[in-house]
Structure 1
Amino acid sequence: MSALPAPSPTALDAGLVQDLRAVFGDRLHLGEAMRAQHGGSEAHFNTVLPDAVVFARSTEEVVAAVKACVARDTPIIAYGAGTSIEGNTTPVKGGVTIDLSQMDQILQVNPEDFDVTVQAGVRREQLNEHLRDQGLFFPIDPGANATIGGMAATRASGTNAVRYGTMREAVLSLRVVTPDGRDIRTARRARKSAAGYDLTRLFIGSEGTLGIITEVTLRLHGIPEAILSAVCSFDTIQGAVDTVVQSIQLGVPLARVEILDDVQMRASNAWSGLDYPEATTLFFEFHGSERYVQEQVETVSELAQGNGGSAFRWSNLPEEREALWKARHEAYYAAIGLRKGAVGWPTDVCVPIGRLAECIAQTKQDLEAASIPAPILGHVGDGNFHVVFVLDPNNPAEAAEAEVLNARLVRRALDMDGTCTGEHGIGLGKQDWLVEEMGEGVEVMRTLKRAIDPNNLFNPGKIFAF
């Protein structure tokens, strides 16, 4: 929780203010309240104010803002819903934040091709509401009602990743404004291409450091005939993870499978009004035909019972499923609710699934010996799990303890040939670990950054330092 100085409120060039006012009118904000709203984070990072905030409504307006800022050597930060938790949008060098949330138009649905093109500010839930009548849905579900552009910029994942993949697999094409003000498209709508460099994947996960995503073309999927959710408690973390691994090894196409440890279940029961045992628990969801879903449930239920699991509590009623996954989505807030006035420090790692049980078990031992609450939860189907350190913001010793615990967790994951972050991104929080993980690969990233953004104006200070 290191402090970062807020830039002076008078730092913005008067000529730049005039240029931005000409494009955005009253959608240019210089007041402290709006700037503070765009300088904070969902997590433990300190608020740093941008010098101005503009609300864009078109790619052309983004281009105009970029050209005006670059002409005056002013940093630019793209902003969606503000749900990222590694300080990904914190304006550490001040500058102008371009809020894309008003770019919320669904531009083109192609049901016969199972794809859709949207502006970057479209929210995940908004998109699925629009698609429902056509029998289609967009499966990537990071929990928060994030914007599609932000999800692409952070390479988001989530509860459905085990079956449907992540944003890396979901995105067909992007429209991007580059640091020199060019408006480019990274690909067409074809499902595959061998045409030159894969520019789409270059910008996915770049956290706004290489370009500002303004439109996204996404793969869609048909809404399954049957959807069934199930909950199962376990005596041990090992038993829960073994159930998931064995299910995947048998080829069961789990749509969702989430793990919540005993601490998280206690928090979620209290926060969401649930009545599940306070024990390590798996939340499942199965998709397919009625018969196929029943076969999946029977297979996984047998595996769970063999690994010390309880009988399944299951439901195919939409309202019950929605309540279950709403509780999972609110797990972060439930965790913080364990202590009045606390702040959360969420972290995540991802390891090969064969090492997952070992990694979680060793992490659990560390957390049980800690002085701070720290629930475990995660997307065990793809080897990704989270820890939320629940901290007293007025006690520096707790932040120091969390730092040590986080370092042990990430080191453990790297030693198991995993990654320092499965889905949160690097942002401010894991830059040193990126160097540890990627080695000379980070210098290649720096080379790309220098080539595309030589003045380091797009979201400076993120992912790595120069």
Structure 2
Amino acid sequence: MNAPARPLRKRPDPQALEAVLEGLRPRFGDRLSTAEAVRAQHAATVTWVPPEPPDAVVYAQTTEEVAAIVRLCAEHRVPVIPFGTGSSLEGHVNAPYGGVCVDLSRMDRVLRVNAEDLDCVVEPGVTRTRLNAHLRDQGLFFPIDPGYDASLGGMVACRASGTNAVRYGTMRENVVALTAVLPSGEIVHTASRARKSSAGYDLTRLLVGSEGTLGITTEITLRLQGIPEAISGGACPFPSVRAACEATILTIQSGIPVARIELLDAGQVAACNAYSKLTLEEAPTLFVEFHGSEAGVREQAERFGEIARECGGGTFAWATEAQSRTRLWQARHDAYWAALARRPGAKGVSTDICVPISRLADCVEETVADIEETGLVATILGHVGDGNFHVLPLVDVADPGEVARVYGFIERLIARALSMEGTCTGEHGIGQRKMRFLVDEHGAAAVELMRVIKRAIDPHDIMNPGKVLVP
């Protein structure tokens, strides 16, 4: 394999940057900004990753405009950073080497809904809630729900999943085809709308999860689902996180087609009670939801209740009325902000791992013990139906000792997941903070193959540099 390309280790030459800006101004006018406040907004990170603003922000409205921006930046070797809603958690939208941020939020059209084929074509700035509002009258919905109202382009970039993944899969399974602009400025279409194909390399899967390092997605073809006839859901407390995890494992192994099954530890339940005005028992709790026919969801809920009782769980109070379910799941989606309220002034360090479902109980139990032994304030919640859970330490960043303990805890958490044949991130992505764990997970040869792909597509390392791969 060839030697690594020379990485960008400093900001672009001022003359090169000015040449790019001069080239963009006539076409984009007031859609190009170098204002400090706008630049800072496009480096805002949800967690404690320090913000690194771009040199300029340009708001694109078409695929052709994105291609024009990228071609100009490629000509002058100026970095390009794609931006959706800025809700990513691992520093994906930062510009460590400066450059031009391409904001895709104005590319927000639903281009086509093919109801008969159960798919649709959207631009990357469309958010998941807006798409589902558009689809509702046709009896369809898009099932991937990462919690935040993320843009679909960002969800493609980070290979998002979320609460419904246990039944409907992740973005990997629900993206049919893409239109993307490569680092050269060339526009490519990765696939047709056919439900399956064996024609050539799977370029769609290559770009899904590439975190903006191989290209910028400008159109997305997505799989859709019919809105279920009936939905039931509820919450069930357990005496321990192990008991809750064992109930999850038995539910999955029993073949119950659960749509969502989410774990909240006792601390997270207490935070949600206070923030969302719930009255749940402050114990490890599973939030569960079933989709199907009225008879089907009733049977599924009853079978889950039996499993919960076998594992020592309390009463599974389930409901079919939309208002009660919506309140419960809104509290789950607000869990991050609820947890932050437990320690005002602290920063949240949201991290995630994923392990085989058979190792879930061991991994969560060992993680709880680690939190207690380390003396951290942290909550656990996650999409445990597919072995994925999140930990949110709340950190006083002015305390170097506490910061060091958190870093040590995250390293042990990832090592624990890898020792159980898991992954260092189930859905957050690598971004800036988890690059060095890729070799531990995949091996040096596999990571070097990733570098070969990156160099072949982006030889000058202009596309979202400083993410995913250590040069």
CA contact (8 A) 1:141 1:159 kept: yes
Displaced runs of 4+ in structure 1, greater than 2 A?
A: 5-15, 369-372
- Shift in Å, 1:11: 7.3
CA contact (8 A) 1:78 1:99 kept: yes
Q: Return the letter of the residue paired with 1:374.
A: A
CA deviation string 1:104-161 (max 9, x = no partner): 0000000000000000000000000000000000000000000001000100010000
- Number of equivalenced pairs: 462
- Shift in Å, 1:9: 12
CA contact (8 A) 1:7 1:51 kept: no
> Which piece of structure 1 moves more, 11-20 or 330-339?
11-20
**Structure 1 segment 294-313 matched on structure 2, within 5 A:** 294-313=298-317
- Shift in Å, 1:13: 2.6
Q: What SS does the aligned partner of 2:349 have?
A: strand
The partner residue of 1:188 within 183, 188, 192 is 192
The partner residue of 1:336 within 340, 352, 355 is 340
CA contact (8 A) 1:225 1:289 kept: yes
Q: Distance in 2 between matches of 1:238 and 1:341?
A: 31
The verdict on how the C-alpha distance between 1:354 and 1:139 changes in structure 2, with shifts beyond 3 A counting, is: same
Q: Distance in 2 between matches of 1:329 and 1:255?
A: 16
**Structure 1 segment 58-207 matched on structure 2, within 5 A:** 58-207=62-211
1:447 alignment partner in structure 2: 452
The verdict on how the C-alpha distance between 1:263 and 1:49 changes in structure 2, with shifts beyond 3 A counting, is: same
Q: Return the letter of the residue paired with 2:52.
A: V
CA deviation string 1:198-256 (max 9, x = no partner): 00000000000001001100000000000111100000112111111111111100000
1:221 alignment partner in structure 2: 225
CA contact (8 A) 2:16 2:77 kept: no
Q: Distance in 2 between matches of 1:85 and 1:101?
A: 18
Q: Distance in 2 between matches of 1:393 and 1:117?
A: 43
Q: Distance in 1 between matches of 2:409 and 2:206?
A: 32
The verdict on how the C-alpha distance between 1:9 and 1:37 changes in structure 2, with shifts beyond 3 A counting, is: farther
Structure 2 unaligned blocks of 5 or more? 1-8
Q: Distance in 2 between matches of 1:39 and 1:304?
A: 44
Q: Distance in 2 between matches of 1:47 and 1:199?
A: 31
CA contact (8 A) 1:336 1:343 kept: yes
- Shift in Å, 1:63: 0.4
Q: What SS does the aligned partner of 1:213 have?
A: strand
Q: Distance in 1 between matches of 2:272 and 2:216?
A: 36
Percentage identity across paired residues of the two chains? 53
Q: What SS does the aligned partner of 1:201 have?
A: helix
The verdict on how the C-alpha distance between 1:232 and 1:11 changes in structure 2, with shifts beyond 3 A counting, is: farther
Q: Return the letter of the residue paired with 2:89.
A: I
1:457 alignment partner in structure 2: 462
CA deviation string 1:247-296 (max 9, x = no partner): 11111000000000011111111111111011100000100000000000
- Shift in Å, 1:328: 0.6
Q: Distance in 2 between matches of 1:357 and 1:23?
A: 56
2:6 alignment partner in structure 1: none
The verdict on how the C-alpha distance between 1:434 and 1:461 changes in structure 2, with shifts beyond 3 A counting, is: same
- Shift in Å, 1:370: 2.7
Q: Distance in 1 between matches of 2:111 and 2:253?
A: 40
Q: Distance in 2 between matches of 1:175 and 1:286?
A: 34
* TM-score computed with the length of structure 2 as normaliser: 0.96
Q: Return the letter of the residue paired with 1:272.
A: S
> Which piece of structure 1 moves more, 388-397 or 129-138?
388-397
Q: What SS does the aligned partner of 1:259 have?
A: strand
Q: What SS does the aligned partner of 1:244 have?
A: helix
The verdict on how the C-alpha distance between 1:11 and 1:94 changes in structure 2, with shifts beyond 3 A counting, is: farther
> Which piece of structure 1 moves more, 345-354 or 263-272?
263-272
**Structure 1 segment 249-264 matched on structure 2, within 5 A:** 249-264=253-268
CA contact (8 A) 1:6 1:49 kept: no
Q: Please state if 1:376 is matched with 2:352.
A: no
CA contact (8 A) 2:48 2:349 kept: yes
1:415 alignment partner in structure 2: 419
Q: Distance in 1 between matches of 2:265 and 2:79?
A: 42
Q: Return the letter of the residue paired with 1:450.
A: R
CA contact (8 A) 1:106 1:119 kept: yes
Q: Distance in 2 between matches of 1:7 and 1:374?
A: 37
The verdict on how the C-alpha distance between 1:369 and 1:72 changes in structure 2, with shifts beyond 3 A counting, is: same
Q: Return the letter of the residue paired with 1:82.
A: G
1:242 alignment partner in structure 2: 246
CA deviation string 1:410-443 (max 9, x = no partner): 0000000000000000001111111110112110
Q: Return the letter of the residue paired with 2:252.
A: I
2:3 alignment partner in structure 1: none
Q: Distance in 2 between matches of 1:364 and 1:223?
A: 37
Q: Return the letter of the residue paired with 2:333.
A: H
Q: Please state if 1:391 is matched with 2:395.
A: yes
CA contact (8 A) 1:6 1:48 kept: no
Q: Distance in 2 between matches of 1:184 and 1:23?
A: 23
Q: Distance in 2 between matches of 1:304 and 1:15?
A: 64
Q: Return the letter of the residue paired with 1:455.
A: H
Q: Distance in 2 between matches of 1:12 and 1:81?
A: 28
CA contact (8 A) 2:142 2:224 kept: yes
Q: Distance in 2 between matches of 1:415 and 1:433?
A: 13
1:319 alignment partner in structure 2: 323
Q: Distance in 2 between matches of 1:237 and 1:11?
A: 57
